[in-house]
Each structure stands twice: as C-alpha cells, then as structure tokens.
Amino acid sequence: MKSSLIDVFIFASLNKVMAQKPSIPKGTRDFSPVEVQRRQYVMNTIKHHFEHYGFMPIETPSFENSDTLLGKYGEEGDRLIFKILNNGQYLSKVNDQDLQSKNEYKVSPQISKRALRYDLTVPFARYVVQHQNDIAFPFKRYQIQPVWRADRPQHGRFQEFYQCDAM
C-alpha cells in the first residue's frame, strides 16, 4: 500500500516537472562535455604558466560579508552586486516603515549580510589582510574563479563568468 502511494506521488511529481519547459536563468549558460574539456585545457595551460613563474594558487569563498564588498566599486558597482538574503526570519526584524517605503538602501542591509563576489580583487585584498602574518612578501598569487554581476544580460555578456587574476 505504502509503496504504491509513493509511486503515485513520484509519478505525479515527474509529470509536473516534465510539463515545465526546462531553462536556465538569463545571463548564465551550460557547457557541454566538449566545451568543458576545452575550457579546462585553456585554464590548465594558464595555471601551468603562472606556476612556472612562481605564482601560487589561492581561492576565496564565492560570497563575502556585504560590508567587505559594498563601497569598494562605487555606486554603480554596488548596484551590480548580487545580495544573498539572510537565513531565517529576516523580514520580521525589518521596520514596517522601511518595508512600506520600498527604500532599497534602508531594507537591504537589514535582510542581506552577504553577497556574491563581483570580482576577485576585493576578496584578494581581504585575504591578504586576514592572512598577512602567514604570507611571505612579495606574494605572487593567481586566482581563477567564477564571479557574478547583477546587470542586465546582453548578447555576449553574462551574469556568471570566470575571472583570472594574477598579482
């Protein structure tokens, strides 16, 4: 009895999913196995050359505290940062007047304490300050990681893309 109910539920769920046309968000893209292999070849070639000249790889988190990122790119850049909603009952802590005013600058800091990185430079600066006692200077590093921009996707421009930084 139980298994037949589960089968019916799974079948109904699959039908619902299949009825929807699968898609990805604008400004993003899928890569086929062949494209992934080509991209990996290019990235591995770049990494090899960086390491040949003494650069070491680092990685930083995909998201940072908002106060680390905001204000570093100017007003235009701040608008292009994807903010991440806080966990839990974040809206219950927002003043009703602020919500009704629809003022993004008042509400956003209250409901979003983290954001996706816009580029690799500011997270790198944070990394150096945070780990300055563990780093030998000059610090030759490279970083190849995805970044995100909340601008309107246009032909040939994406909201998610890889960036390569070396310093």
CA distance 123 to 101: 33
- pLDDT, one tens digit per residue, over 12-61 is 666 665 677 888 888 899 999 999 999 999 999 999 999 999 999 999 99
Domain regions of the chain by residue span: 25-166
Radius of gyration of the chain (CA): 22
Q: Which mean pLDDT values do the consecutive 10-residue runs of the chain (167 residues) have?
A: 61 66 89 97 98 97 91 83 76 63 61 87 95 94 95 87 94
For residues 91 and 111, the answer to whether their CB atoms sit within 8 Å is yes
Task: Give the closest residue to 116 by CA, choosing from 140, 93, 84, 139.
Answer: 84
CATH superfamily of 25-166: Bira Bifunctional Protein; Domain 2 (3.30.930.10)
Q: pTM of the predicted model, to two decimals?
A: 0.75
Which residues does residue 116 pair with via DSSP β-bridges, in sequence order?
A: 63
Pairing mode of beta strands 83-84, 114-116: antiparallel
Rounded Cα distance between 19 and 13, Å, is: 10
